[in-house]
Amino acid sequence: MKYSDLAEKTAAELQTMLKEKKTELFTLKIKQKMMQLTNTSELRDAKKDIARINTALSAAK
**Residue 35 backbone class (left: φ over 0; alpha: ψ -120 to 50; beta: rest):** left
Who has greater pLDDT, 59 or 25? 25
CA atoms within 13 A on the CB side of 12: 0
Question: Residue 1: what pLDDT?
Answer: 80
pTM of the model: 0.90
Residue 30 domain-assigned (yes or no): no
In a domain, 4, yes or no: no
Domain membership of residue 50 as a residue range: 12-25+38-61
52, part of any domain: yes
Structural domain total, the chain: 1
pLDDT in tens, 1-55: 888 888 889 999 999 999 999 999 999 999 999 999 999 999 999 999 999 999 9
